[in-house]
Amino acid sequence: MSDEPELRRDPVSGRWVVIAPERARRPIAFSDHAPRHRTSGDSRPCPFCAGAEAETPNEVYAIRDPGSLPNGPGWQLRVVPNMYPAMRPNATAASPVHTPGLMSGTVRAAIEEIGKGQYLLRGAPDEFPLFNSAPAAGFAEVLIDCPDHIDDPTKLTDDQFADVLLSYRERLLTLSADPRLAHVAVFKNVGAEAGASLAHTHSQIIATPIVPILMHAELTCAEAYTARCGRCVFCDLIEKDLAESLRVVARSENFVAVMAFAPRFAYEMWVLPIAHEARYESLSETAATELAILLKRVLRALDVVQNAPAYNWFLHTTPLHAGVPAHYHWHLEILPRTARPAGLEWGYGCHITTVVPEHAASQLRAAIM
């Protein structure tokens, strides 16, 4: 493959990126430039460790030893409300979104569309205020992966890792019963450089009455692909990637890990069920164990190849109350901080990376154990 810069379009979101391997050779005078490795920044005492249950709000979900009491020791995994929530459950009371009579039927219908994956209100401009706002009504939760002070999810046992994945499902199922909510973001920040404020491995769950814009873009683009081709864009991508093997990092019986065709950061990796599944809520216990083992393998390979980068992973699944669409296919995106976004990224949403994804895939395959 040549070093010529190449434009690539992500088939799911429609975003364009630049792959420019030559830029890897540019002189860099700032010593703290890319990549962004995990920094410890660890502090004790840790409010997420066993024995510190009083340091967190009361748990809303837990996997516990028989006979143990809520909010005491004897747990394997806990979900607690975030002490510093971005969303508040009781913020709905004064919400204009839910006050009939304050809006026309058109506006109300448009708002109801939010639950069907519509982020932007549609209609005649004079139907809407210039400045739309609503109370941040929703839920912000922290899922503490394990009682021991572990700072790296690959150090979880397979069972612990599978429990994390199954607990994502449980929280999605619980939160999806709330008709006020449109979307649940489930993600993990690993390392301070990826936004983690505490080292003890944990995930975040944020349920909102709106569908975030990146999800909206994926849903819209994926729906358009299906309308045009009659197939799911993710299913097509998986089929082609498996046939060519160029971007496949690893696979198990039912899941595959591939490098993104048009990555935002070098080594951006997606993990998908091979068969079409619109909703993560359908994940079975055996599938969770299989997925846990695959994720640990590819994350360890990423740590080897990129010397423990900070990263996020996030779950993308069909929004709440949006049925089981043929055009959307849940997946996990793993986004390592292998560079620092600059003007083109922040100002225009166009990412430049310096590693050709097919090269990245072969490096990771060689590091898989």
Q: Which stretch binds Zn ion (CB under 5 A): 136-144, 186-194, 231-239, 335-343?
A: 231-239
User: In the Cβ-directed half-sphere of 67, how many Cα atoms lie within 13 Å?
Assistant: 0
Please state the closest distance from residue 241 (CB atom) to Zn ion, in A: 13
Nearer to Zn ion, 33 or 44 (CB): 44
* Cβ–Cβ < 8 Å for 278, 237: no
Nearer to Zn ion, 155 or 359 (CB): 155
The answer to whether residue 200 forms part of the interface with Zn ion (CB under 5 A) is: yes
Q: What is the residue whose two structure tokens read 């005078």?
A: 29
Q: Which stretch binds Zn ion (CB under 5 A): 9-17, 101-109, 217-225, 229-237?
A: 229-237
Q: Which stretch binds Zn ion (CB under 5 A): 201-209, 224-232, 292-300, 353-361?
A: 224-232
**Secondary structure (3-state) at 35:** coil
Binding mask 115-144 for Zn ion (x = CB under 5 A): ------------------------------
Q: Which stretch binds Zn ion (CB under 5 A): 73-81, 146-154, 158-166, 174-182?
A: 146-154
The answer to whether residue 329 forms part of the interface with Zn ion (CB under 5 A) is: yes
Nearer to Zn ion, 149 or 300 (CB): 149
Please state the closest distance from residue 102 (CB atom) to Zn ion, in A: 40
Number of C-beta neighbours around residue 73 at 10 A:
13
Query: Interaction with Zn ion in 148-167: which residues (CB under 5 A)?
Result: 149
d(CA 83, CA 51): 18
Nearer to Zn ion, 49 or 293 (CB): 49
The three state secondary structure string of 283-350 is CCHHHHHHHHHHHHHHHHHHHHHHCCECEEEEEECCCCCCCCCCCCCCEEEEEECCCCCCHHHHHHCC
d(CA 148, CA 49): 6
Task: Give the residue among 353, 361, 355 at the shortest CA–CA distance from 242.
Answer: 361
Binding mask 300-319 for Zn ion (x = CB under 5 A): --------------------
Among 144, 235, 271, 364, interactor with Zn ion by CB under 5 A: 235
* Cβ–Cβ < 8 Å for 202, 48: yes
Q: Which stretch binds Zn ion (CB under 5 A): 67-75, 234-242, 281-289, 307-315?
A: 234-242
The answer to whether residue 359 forms part of the interface with Zn ion (CB under 5 A) is: no
Residues in contact with 227: Cβ distance below 8 Å, sequence separation at least 6, in sequence order: 327
Q: Which residues of 348-367 are buried (b: 16+ CB within 10 A; e: fewer)?
A: eeebbbbbbbbebbbbbbeb
Please state the closest distance from residue 54 (CB atom) to Zn ion, in A: 14
Please state the closest distance from residue 26 (CB atom) to Zn ion, in A: 39
Nearer to Zn ion, 36 or 329 (CB): 329
Among 8, 276, 300, 365, interactor with Zn ion by CB under 5 A: 276
* Single-letter amino acid, residue 265: F
* Cβ–Cβ < 8 Å for 242, 231: no
Total of chain residues touching Zn ion, rule CB under 5 A: 10
d(CA 122, CA 217): 15
Please state the closest distance from residue 238 (CB atom) to Zn ion, in A: 7
Please state the closest distance from residue 156 (CB atom) to Zn ion, in A: 13
Please state the closest distance from residue 326 (CB atom) to Zn ion, in A: 8
User: In the Cβ-directed half-sphere of 366, how many Cα atoms lie within 13 Å?
Assistant: 8
Query: Interaction with Zn ion in 31-50: which residues (CB under 5 A)?
Result: 46, 48-49
- Pairing label, strands 202-208, 183-190: antiparallel
**Secondary structure (3-state) at 222:** helix
Please state the closest distance from residue 222 (CB atom) to Zn ion, in A: 9
The answer to whether residue 114 forms part of the interface with Zn ion (CB under 5 A) is: no
Task: Give the residue among 229, 218, 179 at the shortest CA–CA distance from 333.
Answer: 218
- Phi, psi torsion values for 77, nearest 5 degrees: -160, 140
d(CA 239, CA 366): 22
Binding residues for Zn ion (CB under 5 A) = 46, 48-49, 149, 200, 232, 234-235, 276, 329
